[in-house]
Amino acid sequence: MTPEMSAVRLHETGGPQSLRIDRTLVPEPGEGEVVVRLRAASLNHRDVFITQGLYPNIRMPVTLGSDGAGEIVALNGDSLGLRTGEEIVIDPMLGWGNDPSVWDSKSSLLGMPRDGTFAQYVAVPAANVYRKPELLSMEEAAAIPLAGLTAYRAIFTRGALARGETVLITGVGGGVQTFVLLFAKHAGARAIVTSSSDEKLERATALGADLTINYKTVPDWEKRLRSEGPIDLVVDSSGGETLRKALDAVRPGGRIVVYGGTNGDATIKMFPLFWKHVSILGTSMGSPQDFAAMLELFRSNLRPVVDRVFSLRDAVAAMQRLANADQFGKVVLRID
């Protein structure tokens, strides 16, 4: 008899409530793939957007989830030195390609179209599997991949953040932005952060943020920042009005790195863009080189920020927390 597993699957869009816990078949490894018994997974805003039908080319039914950590239980073909029983973390970027400067147009993300990590087992290419940093729990390791990778590429590969520079991080409560704060402080930068919540700003201060501003109670924060010294780099995924204000706040010759548009498209002023010689840089996910370098940071004493751990069967409540922007850091699913 073929073994079965529990998986959180989407059959129709309509928000987080439309997710179902199904019994489905344990996947077999294809050529060059491994099967992982997942112990933890984590949520990204992408998962929420997919349940809401706000993502291109949605294929259903599908098991959602890009991030996961667990043990290898089966291998097929070239195992790249991996062994069964090994504790690993998964790079969700599938088929980046050979050019480190941009992904291949055929690349995709684990967790739609390919079945993802909100399940007891997942099959992935062996090349996407990395040894789990020993000091991290499964929950901590599962919190890292997509958000850590996006943050690493945003501030280092694209943003070229240097020690002593000042970075502005808009909406620090988000999964990716919390990693941006961690990495910026680790790199010896000064970090200014904004959030909609004073409680989240307090948590950011505890992580090393040097200056905090509530963008709800101080809507003209970009004017307030004029007296706080030059801002070398802005990292943003909010878009809309926030990007327009970021252009005002950044110093002449500064950089703005953008990896999302949660609040929609932005209309920006042309004059400050060219007069200030500002560079606006797009980025998405990251290359295998970015992933390996990012994970290396967690082999010392760096720890991801885990907001809350839910069990797999409570995936709807976990996703609702993200949809409401209640989290600070990463929302994780424990998988028994």
Ligand X SMILES: NC(=O)c1ccc[n+]([C@@H]2O[C@H](COP(=O)([O-])OP(=O)(O)OC[C@H]3O[C@@H](n4cnc5c(N)ncnc54)[C@H](OP(=O)(O)O)[C@@H]3O)[C@@H](O)[C@H]2O)c1
What is the binding site for ligand X (CB under 6 A)? Answer: 44-46, 49, 146-147, 150, 170-176, 194-197, 200, 215, 237-238, 242, 259-260, 262-263, 284-285, 322, 325
Helix (H, G, I), strand (E, B) or coil at 216: coil
For ligand X, which residue has the nearest CB?
171
CB 70 within 8 A of CB 36: yes
Q: Least CB distance from residue 104 to ligand X, whole Å?
A: 14
Radius of gyration in angstroms for the set of CA atoms belonging to the chain, rounded to a whole number: 20
Bridge partners of 233, per DSSP, are: 167, 255
Q: Least CB distance from residue 284 to ligand X, whole Å?
A: 4
Burial of 222 (0-12, 13-18, 19+ CB in 10 A): buried
Residue 57 corresponds to which tokens in the numbers above?
A: 């080319």
Helix, strand, coil percentages for the chain (3-state, nearest 5): 30, 25, 45
Angular region, 106: left φ>0, alpha ψ -120 to 50, beta rest = alpha
- Our CB check for ligand X shows the closer of 29 and 92 to be 92
Alpha helices in 52-94 (DSSP H): none
Q: Least CB distance from residue 97 to ligand X, whole Å?
A: 15
Q: Least CB distance from residue 113 to ligand X, whole Å?
A: 16
Q: Least CB distance from residue 102 to ligand X, whole Å?
A: 12
Cα maximum dimension of the chain:
69
Helix (H, G, I), strand (E, B) or coil at 108: strand
Residue 219 corresponds to which tokens in the numbers above?
A: 């809507």
Q: Least CB distance from residue 147 to ligand X, whole Å?
A: 6
- Our CB check for ligand X shows the closer of 75 and 151 to be 151
Q: Least CB distance from residue 283 to ligand X, whole Å?
A: 7
- Our CB check for ligand X shows the closer of 127 and 325 to be 325
Q: Is the dihedral of CA 280, 284, 285, 291 positive or negative?
A: negative
- Our CB check for ligand X shows the closer of 156 and 259 to be 259
Q: Least CB distance from residue 173 to ligand X, whole Å?
A: 3
- Our CB check for ligand X shows the closer of 40 and 322 to be 322
Cα–Cα distance for residue pair 299/316, rounded to 1 Å: 32
- Our CB check for ligand X shows the closer of 54 and 135 to be 54
Q: How far is CA 178 from CA 204, 246, 261, 266, 329, in A?
A: 8, 18, 17, 23, 6
- Our CB check for ligand X shows the closer of 214 and 279 to be 214
- Our CB check for ligand X shows the closer of 137 and 284 to be 284
CB 75 within 8 A of CB 29: yes
